[in-house]
């Protein structure tokens, strides 16, 4: 019976998708755009009213589970089970990947920082240094190695780039403790580079300008470094850096309790295994509310797209991802990408991200793949500009407005673009304030938040803009279906991998000479 139902569904949808082709006038190969025709036909099947049925279910799940669908809670597990069941019934190959997240961090005794050589000296906690929250526990005695510090400190604040690049650790001796100056990039980036270089611990120190000399407490939001981390005053940092070969003891007595949740991954039965079109949305909410716009809207639209695309034989493999623990720091997508081999990453030709697509006071923001707005993080990896143009084509043909938004790292595309995978997507605004110019184009209320219930209990089924949900769901269906049939504008990932290998081979003799 299931086979019969699936055959009926397939025949019905194939008819709906291919019928427009029967009425397409003869065209030359140069003018025919079959992927566009197919994508538009599929898009017409992804309707807001059907997407809302999934949102209604997410609301029911939240209501039955303490008012939220946060990672690690029964509400999230029930949301995942709902999506998994729908996708399995549609014939997808469904799997999950584990996601770890910090539940709590506890420091059992004050951390210790002592200079062992060339003179014995104990630094005071908390006036000289403080433990970095989420630091791993550990007791290490080792030589200090200064990492690219600007000494004496530069006159302008937020100038030092110490530790921001892997190249800053050239010549770093594994097993030493990295001494890293505060500066332009996040502490987590510095510590990540230190771990890759083999550091046994990290001592950050403040940069040194007025107002930037004392230690302070902060959460590095990464608990898996496996070594102790503290933050010291400028005076302590300069003291430790003063004499080459200084040895210190660094002790942190702390523990992170780790919880676990899951990502849901669904692969289509059709398409080339080495040509993966990936689309994702985070499934979890914050603990404060049911998360129906953030991000039930993106998840529901993606689910409906997957259900409509399930029965169509596509040229390329399509992979749908429903991320866990996004609200805890993009953990689901970060850990997924980190767990892929380079060969598996190279199969992913592009990534489409949909996070909040039905904000009540919405603007249709498209990720600025070509950096035409010249703001923030810059352009995405090669192919991102073409993804942005495809979305612009969809909205432009329908007389709908759109506006660029920066790749600011606030959603799950971050790990993909960091891995060189082109990305794009739709976002309708969070706590930001709509301008008068935006209201003139998109309607709504100027000088008010895009989403008045962002990360709040009122992000419920009443917090959805039905018109935005409908048009953006159709755009999601269009873009996903288009790339399922046509990747001609997206650079080949295998070619990029070969280019990297060739470049590495050319560099090897120079590296050996140095």
Q: What pLDDT, in 10s, does the model give residues 274-310?
A: 999 999 999 999 999 999 999 999 999 999 999 999 9
Neighbours of 445 (CB within 10 A): 13
Q: How far apart are the C-alpha atoms of 55 and 83, rounded to whole Å?
A: 11
Q: Which of 304, 326, 386, 388 is catalytic?
A: 326
Q: Is 311 exposed, middle or buried (0-12, 13-18, 19+ CB in 10 A)?
A: buried
- Could you tell me what percent of the chain has a pLDDT over 70? 90
- Could you tell me what percent of the chain has a pLDDT over 90? 86
Handedness of CA 319, 386, 423, 493 (dihedral sign): positive
Q: Tokens standing for 24? A: 């397409």
For tokens 């530790």, what's the residue? Answer: 163
pLDDT value at residue 93 = 98
Check: CB of residue 394 under 8 Å from CB of residue 482.
Answer: no
Helix H or strand E segment including 130: strand 129-131
Q: Is the pLDDT of residue 408 over 50?
A: yes
For tokens 């302070």, what's the residue? Answer: 216
Give the pLDDT mean for 95-105: 96
Q: Is the pLDDT of residue 21 over 50?
A: no
pLDDT value at residue 52 = 98
Q: Is the pLDDT of residue 322 over 70?
A: yes
| Pick from 56-65, 348-357, 401-410: least confident | 401-410
For tokens 């707005």, what's the residue? Answer: 373
pLDDT value at residue 503 = 40
Between the alpha carbon of residue 440 and those of residues 406, 435, 444, 456, the distances in Å are: 21, 9, 8, 27
CA atoms within 13 A on the CB side of 201: 26
Catalytic residue flag (residue 327): no
Q: How far apart are the C-alpha atoms of 450 and 459, rounded to whole Å?
A: 12
* CB neighbour list of residue 225: distance below 8 Å, 6 or more residues apart: 135, 136, 191, 192, 195, 202
The whole-angstrom distance between residue 192's C-alpha and the CA centroid of its chain comes to: 17
Q: How far apart are the C-alpha atoms of 144 and 201, rounded to whole Å?
A: 9
Give the pLDDT mean for 90-111: 97
pLDDT value at residue 375 = 87
Confidence of residue 198 (pLDDT cuts 50, 70, 90): very high
Three-state secondary structure call for residue 131: strand
C-alpha dihedral over 220, 222, 224, 229, to 10 degrees?
0
pLDDT tens digits for range 201-211: 999 999 999 99
Q: How far apart are the C-alpha atoms of 76 and 261, rounded to whole Å?
A: 9
How many helices (H) does the chain have, and how many strands (E)? Answer: 14, 14
C-alpha dihedral over 66, 72, 78, 82, to 10 degrees?
140
User: What count of residues does the chain have?
Assistant: 514
Check: CB of residue 411 under 8 Å from CB of residue 417.
Answer: no
Check: CB of residue 389 under 8 Å from CB of residue 333.
Answer: no
Q: Is 276 exposed, middle or buried (0-12, 13-18, 19+ CB in 10 A)?
A: buried
Between the alpha carbon of residue 184 and those of residues 58, 181, 188, 209, the distances in Å are: 41, 10, 12, 14
pLDDT tens digits for range 344-403: 999 999 999 999 999 999 999 999 999 999 888 889 999 999 999 999 999 999 999 999
Q: How far apart are the C-alpha atoms of 5 and 8, rounded to whole Å?
A: 5
Q: How far apart are the C-alpha atoms of 63 and 125, rounded to whole Å?
A: 46
Mean pLDDT of the chain: 91
């Amino acid at each position: 019976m299931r086979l019969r139902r699936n055959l009926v569904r397939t025949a019905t949808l194939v008819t709906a998708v291919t019928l427009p082709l029967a009425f397409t006038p003869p065209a030359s190969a140069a003018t025919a755009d079959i992927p566009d025709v197919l994508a538009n036909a599929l898009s017409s099947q992804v309707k807001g009213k059907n997407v809302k049925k999934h949102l209604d279910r997410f609301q029911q799940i939240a209501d039955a589970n303490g008012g939220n669908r946060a990672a690690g809670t029964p509400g999230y597990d029930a949301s995942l089970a709902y999506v998994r069941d729908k996708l399995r019934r549609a014939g997808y190959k469904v799997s999950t990947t584990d996601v770890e997240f910090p539940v709590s961090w506890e420091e059992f005794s004050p951390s210790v920082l002592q200079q062992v050589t060339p003179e014995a000296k104990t630094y005071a906690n908390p006036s000289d240094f403080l433990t970095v929250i989420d630091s791993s526990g550990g007791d290490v005695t080792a030589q200090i190695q200064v990492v690219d510090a600007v000494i004496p400190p530069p006159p302008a604040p937020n100038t030092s780039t110490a530790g921001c690049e892997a190249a800053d650790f050239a010549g770093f001796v594994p097993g030493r403790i990295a001494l890293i100056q505060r500066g332009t990039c996040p502490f987590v980036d510095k510590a990540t580079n230190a771990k890759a270089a083999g550091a046994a611990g990290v001592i950050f120190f403040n940069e040194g300008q007025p107002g930037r000399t004392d230690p302070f407490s902060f959460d590095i939001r990464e608990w898996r470094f496996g070594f102790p981390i503290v933050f010291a005053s400028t005076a302590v940092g300069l003291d430790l850096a003063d004499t080459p070969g200084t040895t210190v003891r660094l002790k942190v007595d702390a523990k992170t309790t780790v919880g676990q949740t899951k990502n849901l991954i669904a692969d289509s039965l059709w398409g080339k295994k080495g040509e993966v079109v990936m689309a994702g949305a985070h499934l979890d909410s914050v603990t404060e509310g049911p998360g129906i716009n953030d991000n039930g809207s993106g998840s529901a639209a993606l689910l409906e797209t997957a259900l409509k695309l399930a029965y169509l034989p596509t040229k390329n493999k399509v992979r749908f991802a429903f991320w866990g623990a996004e609200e805890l720091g993009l953990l689901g997508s970060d850990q997924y990408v980190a767990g892929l081999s380079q060969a598996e990453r190279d199969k992913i030709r592009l990534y489409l991200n949909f996070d909040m697509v039905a904000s009540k006071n919405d603007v249709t923001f498209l990720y600025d793949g070509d950096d035409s707005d010249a703001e923030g993080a810059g352009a995405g990896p090669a192919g991102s500009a073409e993804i942005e143009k495809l979305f612009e084509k969809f909205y432009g043909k329908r007389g709908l407005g759109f506006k660029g938004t920066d790749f600011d790292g606030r959603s799950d595309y971050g790990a993909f673009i960091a891995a060189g995978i082109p990305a794009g997507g739709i976002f309708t605004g969070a706590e930001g304030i709509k301008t008068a110019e935006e209201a003139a184009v998109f309607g709504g209320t100027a000088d008010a938040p895009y989403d008045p219930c962002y990360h709040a209990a009122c992000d419920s089924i009443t917090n959805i803009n039905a018109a935005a949900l409908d048009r953006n769901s159709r755009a999601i269906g269009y873009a996903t279906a288009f790339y399922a049939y046509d990747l001609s504008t997206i650079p080949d990932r295998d070619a990029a991998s070969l280019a990297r290998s060739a470049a590495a081979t050319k560099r090897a003799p120079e590296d050996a000479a140095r």
